[in-house]
Chains A and B, each alone.
Chain A
Amino acid sequence: MADRKIPAPGVNPETEPFWTAAREGRFLVKGCASCGKNHWYPRAICPFCFSDRTEWRPASGRGVIYSLSVMKRAPEPYVMAYVTLEEGPTMMTNIVDCDFDALKIGQKVKLVFKPTEGDGPPFPMFTPA
Chain B
Amino acid sequence: MTIKGKAYIMGAYEHPTRLAKDKSVAQLHAECALGALADAGLSKEDVDGYFCAGDAPGLGPLAMADYMNLKLRHLDSTDMGGCSYIAHVAHAAQAIAMGKCRVALITLAGRPRSEGHSGAVPRMRGADAPDTQWEFPLGVATINAYAMCAARHMYQYGTTSEQLAWVKVAASHHAQHNPHAMLRDVVTVEDVVKSPLIATPLHRLDCCVVSDGGGALVVVAPEIAKSLKRPRVKVLGAGESMKGQMGGEVDLTYSAGVRSGPAAFAEAGVKPADIKYASIYDSFTITVVIQIEDLGFCEKGQGGRFVADGNLISGVGKLPFNTDGGGLCNNHPANRGGITKVIEAVRQLRGEAHPAVQVKNCDLALAHGTGGLLGSRHGAATLIMERE
Contact = CB atoms under 8 A, between A and B. Distances in A.
Interface stretch (B79-87, B126-134, B217-225): B126-134
A13 interface: no
Contacts of A40: 134, 245, 247-248
Interface string B152-176: 1001000000000000000000000
A105 B155 CA distance: 7
B120 A90 contact: no
A64 to B, nearest CB: 12
Most buried by A among B140, B196, B247, B248: B248
A78 B249 CA distance: 24
Interface of B: 120, 127-128, 130-141, 143-145, 147-152, 155, 196-202, 245-250, 252, 376
Contacts, number: 120
B249 A80 contact: no
Interface string A56-100: 000000000011111111100010111010001111111000000
B92 to A, nearest CB: 32
A90 B136 contact: no
A38 B249 CA distance: 10
B138 A94 contact: yes
B133 A105 contact: no
Interface of A: 4, 6-12, 15, 37-41, 43, 46-48, 66-74, 78, 80-82, 84, 88-94, 105-106, 116, 123
Given A10-B133, A39-B248, A92-B134, 13 more contacts: A9-B136, A9-B137, A67-B252, A71-B139, A71-B144, A73-B143, A80-B199, A82-B250, A89-B249, A90-B248, A91-B134, A92-B135, A92-B245
11 contacts: A6-B138, A39-B248, A41-B134, A68-B151, A69-B147, A69-B200, A90-B248, A90-B250, A92-B135, A92-B140, A94-B138
A107 B372 CA distance: 28
Contacts of A7: 136-137
B141 A71 contact: yes
Contacts of B199: 69-73, 80
A94 B140 CA distance: 9
A7 B200 CA distance: 23
A123 B144 CA distance: 19
A119 to B, nearest CB: 14
A77 to B, nearest CB: 10
Contact of A67 (B138, B141, B149): B149
Contacts of A93: 138
B127 A80 contact: no
Contacts of A10: 127-128, 132-133
A27 to B, nearest CB: 13
